[in-house]
Structure formats: C-alpha cells, structure tokens
Amino acid sequence: MKDKKNTLARLGEFGLIRRLTKGLKADASVAVGPGDDCAAIRVSAKEYLLLTADMLVEGVDFFPGERSELVGRKALAVSLSDIAACGGTPRYALVSLGIPAACPYDRVAGIFNGMKRLARRYNVNIVGGDISRCVKLVLNISVAGFVAKRRLVTRSGAKPGDVIFVSGSLGGSIKGRHLRFTPRVREAAYLTAHFKVTSMIDVSDGLWQDLGHLMSASGTGAVIYADRLPLSGAASGIEDALSSGEDFELLFTMPLVEASRLLRVKNGFAFRQIGFVLPGDSGMKLVGKDLRPLKVKRPGYRHF
C-alpha cells in the first residue's frame, strides 16, 4: 500500500524544500544559504558573491507556441530578478538546456538569442553550461553576481512598524508580461544605495505568498490595504494581483522614516506603499477601504 503521507502533493513544494535542506551544513564562507532569493558567499571583507539558479520547463513555465526569443529572455530574466532582490548586480551566467531530439534547431537558436540579448543589456557574461537530451524542453540558468556587504538585503530583516512597498503593478502577467517583464536591477541598486531596506523578495509566485515568505523569515506579520494595490491594466481584479504571480516586481520593507523620504523623492520609479509590518502574532491580513478583513482565496502558485 502506498504511503500517501509522503507524496509530493501531500508534502507541498515548500515542505519538500524544508525536508531536503534540513541538516545541511555550510562553512563560515556562507553568509546566506537555502531559503532566500540567492546564496551569499563571503569573498572579501566588503563584498559578497551572490548565486542563484532557476529551471524553466516547457508546459509549466512556458508553452510551445510562445516566441522562442521571449522564452529565452524570460529564462535569464528570472535569475536576474533574484540577484536584484538581494540588492546585487548580476555578472555571469551558465546556461544548461534539456532538448528533445525532434526539437527544431531554430527553436533552440531563438531561445539562446533571447538570452544573449538580455545578457548584453545587463552586462552579463554567459560563460558556459551544458546540453542534454530530454523528453521536453528544459532551461536551467545559474547566475552569479556581486553585492557590497552593506547593501545585501535578505528576506529576514523586516521589523514591526516597517512600511511595505512594491516596485510596480501587479496581476495579469500571463497575458504576456510574464515573458517581457523587466528585472528590477536598477530599482534595487537605487534603493540599496540611498535607503535602508530591511527585507526584500521578487514577486514570482504571487504577492500574497511571497509576502508570507518575507514575514515568515522575519518572524513578523503584515497588513495589506486592498485599495492600495497597484493593479496592471491586464489584471482581472484584486485576487489576480495577489495570487497569479510572475510579476517579478520587488516587494520590500523599510522603516517609516526611510519610507517617508522615499515617497518625497522624485526618482522616476513606481514604488507604491501597500501596507505595514505587524508583530509576529498578528498574522497576515488583507483589509478593504472600511478596514474590514478580506479573504484571500488563493495564496499563490505552488508546483505541488
């Protein structure tokens, strides 16, 4: 008889990650390990090396009818977004491809061309990788970047009273923006250079779920004001903005004094205040204009 308690569907994506990473040991060179947007490795007294990896699978993260160049662009962009979420600058990439034998050359070449164009835009060097035969098309990208020690931002620094911001509009990404989004590298560099950012993550699996990662890592709660959520023109409503994911905007927190300063400065960015960090025993709350609690029906995307 099968043990249903140990199926991936029962464990869930994050339960699986917790089990696999439990008991991992790292030496003193590892400043940040599993559980954040990037690993951070001490390479000098003033700088960290950032490492991240993302896998995109045909039929899950992209589909056969989508433009090859845009698929390749997305594959690299999601990793650049991770580097941005830690306040860093991406520099090097490794590209590994799993390719069906019947896949047309033009499809693969187009995907790689999309990666190369984005790499040039962000001064990222593609320095190697691997190719293997696969049942379906799989793109695995690893990116290395750097961040000054004083500018490193993780998920775990939010404090009660901090203001919660998002860097742009939310929702409706499946209608095309999930292939064309802009990794917020410039925005992250600006924020970490001029302000004290206490925690940050990129919105890949839905704002509500990714906010939960920030709050869990920080041991805090949060309140989000539904009427302050910046909906994109393609969003179908609040639930879409909270849950559909693949917006790849920065979700970040900062002290009230810093937040007031950010809102006063004309910087050309679309930072929007959407809520506040609460004590840990407060949980996560979504409220409407009348401050009545609203229910979040679907917290975000999970693979299992």
Q: Where do the domains of the chain lie, and which CATH numbers do they carry?
A: 28-150 (3.30.1330.10), 153-294 (3.90.650.10)
In this predicted structure, the answer to whether residue 284 has a pLDDT above a threshold of 80 is: yes
In this predicted structure, the answer to whether residue 234 has a pLDDT above a threshold of 70 is: yes
Phi/psi at 149 (5° precision)? -55, -40
Q: Any residues with CB less than 8 A from the CB of 97 and at least 6 apart, and which?
A: 108, 111, 129, 130, 131, 132, 137, 138, 139, 140
187, two tokens? 């925005």
d(Cα 20, Cα 37) in Å, to the nearest integer?
A: 17
* Predicted local distance difference test score (pLDDT) of residue 7: 82
Interval 224-233: pLDDT, tens: 999 999 999 9
Average pLDDT over residues 240-247: 94
Interval 174-202: pLDDT, tens: 999 999 999 999 999 999 999 999 999 99
Nearest to 249 by CA among 189, 208, 203: 203
* Predicted local distance difference test score (pLDDT) of residue 3: 58
Interval 143-167: pLDDT, tens: 999 999 999 999 999 999 999 999 9
Average pLDDT over residues 76-85: 98
In this predicted structure, the answer to whether residue 115 has a pLDDT above a threshold of 70 is: yes
Average pLDDT over residues 78-91: 98
Do residues 16 and 8 make contact, with C-beta atoms less than 8 angstroms apart? yes
